Structure 1
Amino acid sequence: MRTILVIDDNPAVGTALDVLFGLREIRTLTAASPEAGLALLEREAVDLVVQDMNFTADTTSGEEGVALFRAIRERHPDLPIILLTAWTRLETAVELVKAGAADYLGKPWDDNKLLATAENLLELSEATREVTRHRDERRRRRRQLDDRYDLRGIVYASTAMERAIELACQVARADVPILVTGPNGAGKERIAEIVQANSAVKDGPFVTVNCGALPSELIEAELFGADPGAYTGATNRAREGRFEAADGGTLFLDEIGNLPLAGQAKLLRVLESGQFERLGSSRTRQVKVRVVSATNADLPAMIRDGKFREDLYYRLNVIELRVPPLAERSDDVLPLAEYFLEGRAVLDESARTALVAHAWPGNVRELKNAIQRASLLCSNGVVTARDLGLAPVRAPAGRAGPDVEPDREAIESALQRARGVISQAAAELGLSRQALYRRMDKLGVAAGSEA
């Protein structure tokens, strides 16, 4: 049940608020002193605190209330607090709001405004608890991943990337081919490295071949090797292929969709039997290689067009690991940006906002290039949005730009759509709750109304 703690030395205040909040099925606890209130907070689950500013007779300075506020904030930093002020100077309450208090109300208070404010804060408190629970759960899962597996120092914070990494670790020890899919620059090779690092052949070689970076006539020689004079331009010495180099380890075939059909037939044979011949040789060689391939191509479409063998596709795709584009894992953007900065500079707030708002069509590779460029162009070791040079992003409809304060009509319309719920209206307007409260106070907009 939702619970509010009222800390006030006047019993009549506690009784009145108990009746008021009871109308909304809100449980009310009361304490007559700061000490009693802090003790209750240690014993009870409280969602919101309503506290007085003075507790000693003939005291109007508000110092006791300030001390109580700071004590609660130190022990329960996410707990919302409403200040009740009677004789306290308004400046003191405003300073506490700037320090994190949710709101302040004068005595005698307006019941409708107090109820609306309390409902908003209880809703926010519930959402905050849920976010905290999810964050703690993610940290716990990540610690488990870090403890159980070698993650090769990969930087991530998003749930989407966590799922991909966890699956890669789970299937790493299975002696089956793995297909890593995802757009260019998303980090497919990093996933392949994690598979290798946690596999049964982790002590063997890890050999990488970019099938898209080699001329089609040379790919087979690169993969399977060649005897002297096997093709035009071949040297007079035998050439060891990548399968031989990867014997006892892992071969990572990037951009597998670029492998020509002749090479696909040979690859299928190696996957099934471990056997192949070098170009220009009739001698059959035997290897034991774990194959991890990657592509950003639509292999099923290539199969329909006759450009990729269907039997090879199913042999490669025993396990598919999808690496999501950076646009689908925005939580990774800032950790990656700070990692790429390597301590050479720091991001200011405008840079952080621009980084998160950008769509990143070039994925992690684009982000890395943007950060490297910005770290060279920035002044005094501080990267700004201007240093990043990213294309501006249009704000969603109904949301004010960062330098535009909403007018009275916009605020009242947002409040009406949100049925008076401040947190929803603030989110629609692109403001924090405190900023919206300040704007409403400046324009004389009532907090509890839908108009």
Structure 2
Amino acid sequence: MPTVLIIDDNRSIAMALEVLLSLSDIASISADSPEQGLAMLQTNAVDLVIQDMNFAADTTSGAEGVALFQAIRKRHPDLPVILLTAWTHLDAAVDLIKAGAADYLAKPWNDQRLLATVQNLLELGELGRVNRSLQLRTQRERKQKRALETQYDLRNLIWQDAATERVLGMACQVARAHVSVLITGPNGSGKERIAEIIQANSSVKDGPFVVLNCGALPAELIEAELFGAEAGAYTGASKAREGKFEAADGGTLFLDEIGNLPLAGQMKLLRVLETGRFERLGSNKERQVKVRVISATNADLPAMIRAGNFREDLFYRLNVIELHIPALAERPDDILPLAHSFLEQGKSLTADAQANLLQHVWPGNVRELKNVMQRAGLFAVGDQINASDLGLPKLATASSTTELEPEREDIEHALMRANGVVAQAAAQLGLSRQALYRRMDRLGISRSV
């Protein structure tokens, strides 16, 4: 809840202001002298000051108020100050406004005008703090992003979210170490792209990058795909063929959906990882390769181990380093940059379309987002894509969200997406601005997120 400091030697005026502010969920504290007011500013978190201009008896010059304002401005240059007094020397008032006073209201004041002024200043102050914090964070993130892009080959990956940046940083760190990497994460989250980045920054970057999707082949053919086969090794094998390990010699083999590898294939894979040796199906000739293996899965491999469907020794061989890619909904700052990258040149997203994209939970992750954008580009009339073109569930309304109060993470993400504009974040969450303020206070979310 925002806090206003009232500095006025007339206790009845201070009490009237306290009551007026409390009706709008604005807290207040009071001081009856300039000295006490300045002391309270040192010990209290204050968002705005309302100060009188005269304190000593029979004084109407306003000199005390000018001195107080100057002292506040010197110690707290960004703190908004409203001057409130029956003292009406217009030239002096104009001078103080030019010096940085937020407003000048004469006694007796108009309640509605005073409240409107206070609320506007509080929101501007809130926005300023949030924006400054966001600017610092954005500058820091851009610097880190530039460092990654300058130092590593990121294969033109589009990203903006800090969660993605952490994965990229780890991927680039482990790239030059010749160890097995297991990439985990939901389907469609971009596991193969991370594998490509590891390959591109590894000591075998000039070697081949070979992909095998273990979930796309019948179990009886996976071994032949991995290790190759001699003619007649299985029905339909009319001639000898090399497997993926041979094709990837001197480079990287990416095994997607590794949890689908049958137990017999798991045993042979373990041997290749340990020795670099294998035989083609139907052959006794041992072959030697040097291959960096990166595997990926969306399955719970530890649960498969407990069920006897995955070898524990193979798991530890594959999982020397694990990189987990969060679901797209867990890295919301990636959504709009990715969406724009999937659009045809010349097409753009309206504000309601962007809001719809940010609200959707994306069970199909990046793959789903790409499909949605391609479909919207085909069906949209003109160059602008509206929310209706996306074919996604409609935005939640305030009435549909009254029973579901947003959690801390939801609020922080909404504030980030809205660049700190509380009213816009509240609209995204289906709340009024004051309801969002109250929720932030209950959760202890700082006004400078």
What are the residue-to-residue correspondences of 1:392-407 with 2, within 5 Å?
392-395=394-397
How far the C-alpha of 1:170 sits from its partner, in A, is 0.6
Q: Which of 216, 225, 230 is residue 227 of structure 1 equivalent to? A: 230
How far the C-alpha of 1:121 sits from its partner, in A, is 4.3
> Using a 3 Å threshold, how does the CA distance of structure 1 residues 366 and 116 change in structure 2: closer, same or farther?
closer
Q: What is the aligned partner in structure 2 of residue 164 from structure 1?
A: 167
- Letter of the aligned partner of 1:332 in structure 2? D
What are the residue-to-residue correspondences of 1:329-368 with 2, within 5 Å?
329-368=331-370
Q: Would you say the 8 A contact 1:20–1:111 is kept in 2?
A: no
Q: Deviations over 1:92-128 (max 9, x none)?
A: xxxxxxxxxxxxxx89997777666555544443333
Query: Equivalents in 2 of 1:118, 1:346: separation in Å?
Result: 34
What TM-score, normalized by structure 1, do the two folds share?
0.69
Determine helix, strand or coil for the equivalent of 1:213.
coil
Determine helix, strand or coil for the equivalent of 2:202.
coil
Determine helix, strand or coil for the equivalent of 1:320.
strand
**Residue 387, structure 1, aligned to residue 389, structure 2:** yes
Query: Equivalents in 1 of 2:310, 2:78: separation in Å?
Result: 59
> Using a 3 Å threshold, how does the CA distance of structure 1 residues 18 and 83 change in structure 2: closer, same or farther?
farther
Query: Equivalents in 1 of 2:298, 2:400: separation in Å?
Result: 36
> Using a 3 Å threshold, how does the CA distance of structure 1 residues 424 and 83 change in structure 2: closer, same or farther?
farther
Structure 2 unaligned blocks of 5 or more:
5-32, 52-73, 84-88, 403-421, 438-449
> Using a 3 Å threshold, how does the CA distance of structure 1 residues 45 and 303 change in structure 2: closer, same or farther?
same
> Using a 3 Å threshold, how does the CA distance of structure 1 residues 337 and 425 change in structure 2: closer, same or farther?
closer
How far the C-alpha of 1:129 sits from its partner, in A, is 2.5
Q: What is the aligned partner in structure 2 of residue 182 from structure 1?
A: 185
Query: Equivalents in 2 of 1:183, 1:154: separation in Å?
Result: 18
**Residue 196, structure 1, aligned to residue 199, structure 2:** yes
Query: Equivalents in 2 of 1:211, 1:305: separation in Å?
Result: 19
**Residue 299, structure 1, aligned to residue 330, structure 2:** no
- Letter of the aligned partner of 1:430 in structure 2? L
What are the residue-to-residue correspondences of 1:174-323 with 2, within 5 Å?
174-236=177-239, 238-323=240-325
**Residue 430, structure 1, aligned to residue 425, structure 2:** no
Determine helix, strand or coil for the equivalent of 1:293.
strand
Query: Equivalents in 2 of 1:119, 1:183: separation in Å?
Result: 43
- Letter of the aligned partner of 1:152 in structure 2? R
Query: Equivalents in 2 of 1:305, 1:426: separation in Å?
Result: 47
Determine helix, strand or coil for the equivalent of 1:251.
strand
Q: Would you say the 8 A contact 1:326–1:363 is kept in 2?
A: yes
- Letter of the aligned partner of 1:322 in structure 2? H
- Letter of the aligned partner of 1:148 in structure 2? Q
Q: What is the aligned partner in structure 2 of residue 140 from structure 1?
A: 143
**Residue 47, structure 1, aligned to residue 78, structure 2:** yes
Q: Deviations over 1:47-89 (max 9, x none)?
A: 355699xxxx999xx9xx9xx89xx9xxxxxxxx955589xxx
Determine helix, strand or coil for the equivalent of 2:194.
helix
Q: Would you say the 8 A contact 1:21–1:115 is kept in 2?
A: no
Query: Equivalents in 2 of 1:321, 1:108: separation in Å?
Result: 58
Query: Equivalents in 2 of 1:340, 1:108: separation in Å?
Result: 52
Q: Would you say the 8 A contact 1:124–1:423 is kept in 2?
A: no
Q: Deviations over 1:160-192 (max 9, x none)?
A: 111111110111111100000011100000000
Query: Equivalents in 1 of 2:386, 2:423: separation in Å?
Result: 29
Query: Equivalents in 2 of 1:194, 1:137: separation in Å?
Result: 23
Query: Equivalents in 2 of 1:146, 1:17: separation in Å?
Result: 54
> Using a 3 Å threshold, how does the CA distance of structure 1 residues 377 and 179 change in structure 2: closer, same or farther?
same
Q: Would you say the 8 A contact 2:423–2:432 is kept in 1?
A: no
How far the C-alpha of 1:137 sits from its partner, in A, is 1.5
Q: What is the aligned partner in structure 1 of residue 19 from structure 2?
A: none
- Letter of the aligned partner of 1:245 in structure 2? A
Q: Deviations over 1:6-30 (max 9, x none)?
A: xxxxxxxxxx9999787655698x9
> Using a 3 Å threshold, how does the CA distance of structure 1 residues 351 and 18 change in structure 2: closer, same or farther?
farther
Structure 1 unaligned blocks of 5 or more:
5-15, 31-42, 73-80, 87-105, 401-421, 437-451
- Letter of the aligned partner of 1:287 in structure 2? V
Q: Would you say the 8 A contact 1:207–1:245 is kept in 2?
A: yes
Q: Deviations over 1:266-303 (max 9, x none)?
A: 10000001000001110100000000000011111111
> Using a 3 Å threshold, how does the CA distance of structure 1 residues 295 and 163 change in structure 2: closer, same or farther?
same
**Percent identity of the aligned residues?**
54
How far the C-alpha of 1:197 sits from its partner, in A, is 0.6
- Letter of the aligned partner of 2:191 in structure 1? K
Query: Equivalents in 2 of 1:346, 1:376: separation in Å?
Result: 13
- Count residues with an aligned counterpart: 369
How far the C-alpha of 1:396 sits from its partner, in A, is 6.5
> Using a 3 Å threshold, how does the CA distance of structure 1 residues 373 and 114 change in structure 2: closer, same or farther?
closer
Over the aligned positions, Cα root-mean-square deviation in angstroms equals: 4.6
Query: Equivalents in 2 of 1:21, 1:121: separation in Å?
Result: 23
> Using a 3 Å threshold, how does the CA distance of structure 1 residues 338 and 117 change in structure 2: closer, same or farther?
closer
Query: Equivalents in 1 of 2:281, 2:77: separation in Å?
Result: 75
How far the C-alpha of 1:392 sits from its partner, in A, is 2.6
